[in-house]
Amino acid sequence: MTAPSCPAETRLYENGRPIAEDFPADQVPDMLARHPEAVLWLDLYRPGPADLAAVAEEFHLHPLAVEDATQDHERPKLDRYPEHLFLNVYAVDVSTKPEDPPFGKTEISAFVTDRALITVRKAPSDTAKLVERWDADAKLNEIGGVGFLLHGLLDVVVDGHVAAAQQLDVAMDDVEDVLLEEGGAPRGVRMRGLRLRKTVAALRRAVAPMAELVSQATRPDLGLVDEHLAPYYRDVEDHAQHASDQVEHLRERIESLLQADLAEQGNVLNDITRKLAAWAAVIAVPTALTGYFGQNLPYPGFEKTWGYVQSLVLIVLSAGGLYWYLRRQHWL
């Protein structure tokens, strides 16, 4: 096999423990031949067409699957081909700090053959988490083979989904306390709520298909997961379903909060409008009376002191009476 020009990581597992790592990718065929019971993890970071062509020739990868591995923004899925499986998943990273990007994701494509898990990463990510998970569960490798490697990959990805959902849930608690205050939330808090809604929508696209994807991997006809590994896959499926349910809850929750805040803003606007109308009515009465007493025609009390007193008393009583009435009606 021709050595790929892109950055690559290699690891060979046998009997539950790594027996070789970081060896050149062009030595993969020899390593597999010398260790017939071993399984391989080969990771390629942003491979070019020539890199994937060399790997595809060695492991008999289907051209359509190779094409999907080179395309960005493929949906999460699990496809079956004659000699291997192909899956596409997203590792996610969320941030609730205003200065950081709210959502980041790493698209990971993987080819699953009888003796190899080949991952293709299209963005920077920490593969150390995968290695730590495999080393922590090394006993499973004795019974799982490539199914064990795939379990570790799915487990790390799904755990990231759960952690992201929990982080957004905590952030939403802070927003909720302000959004539900009387009078509506400040603009900064409202914008933070909209930012969270956008992040939840992006997370939902990565999380929602995962439970079904893990369930498909356990199908008996695939021959990937035996009775010993099945409980571990069911555990990952349960976590994936939990993450999906939590994201749906967050989506409904933030929508309800923003709708409640919008309704409160409407209530405040109505209250202000009502008060302005009430004050306009109070001011209109003295205006009408002064207009009457200011006309150029004689009226009762014209050019008399008691006429001035009369007009002043009428203004005070009428305006005061209207103010008292509007206060009783809670307009002021």
Q: Which residue has the higher pLDDT, 319 or 199?
A: 199
Of 299 and 189, more confident:
189
Average pLDDT over residues 112-127: 90
Interatomic CA distance for residues 34 and 88, integer angstroms: 31
- In CATH terms, the fold of domain 8-264 is Beta Polymerase; domain 2 (3.30.460)
pLDDT at 280 over 90: no
| 112/291 Cα distance (integer angstroms) | 91
Task: List Cβ neighbours of 204 (8 Å cut-off, separation of 6 or more).
Answer: 247, 248, 251
- Could you read off the pLDDT of 241-259 as tens digits, one per residue? 999 999 999 988 888 888 8
Number of residues written out for the chain: 332
Q: What is the pLDDT of residues 135-149, one digit of tens each?
A: 887 677 667 689 989
pLDDT > 90: percent of the chain: 35
- Write the DSSP symbol of residue 110: E
Place of tokens 């051209």: 63
* Cα–Cα distance measured from residue 207 to residue 291, given in angstroms and rounded to the nearest whole number: 71
Do 211 and 244 meet the contact criterion of CB atoms below 8 Å apart?
Answer: yes
Q: In what order do the strands lie in the sheet containing 17-21?
A: 17-21, 8-14, 39-45, 116-121, 103-112, 84-94, 77-81
Give residue 296's pLDDT. Answer: 59
Distance between CA atoms of 265 and 271, rounded to whole angstroms?
10
Packing angle, helices 230-293 and 146-179, rounded to 10: 20
Tell me what pLDDT residue 96 has: 67
Residue 323 structure tokens: 């103010």
Strand 116-121 and strand 77-81: the pairing is: unpaired
And the tokens for 77?
């899925």
Neighbours of 268 (CB within 10 A): 13
Looking at the predicted structure, is the pLDDT value of residue 261 above 90?
no
Give the residue extent of every domain in the chain.
8-264, 271-328
Q: Pairing mode, if any, of strands 116-121 and 39-45?
A: parallel
Q: What is the mean pLDDT of the chain?
A: 84
Supply the DSSP string of 237-278, one letter for each residue: HHHHHHHHHHHHHHHHHHHHHHHHHHHHHHHHHHHHHHHHHH
Give the pLDDT confidence of 63-92 residue by residue, as tens digits.
Answer: 999 999 988 878 899 999 999 999 999 998
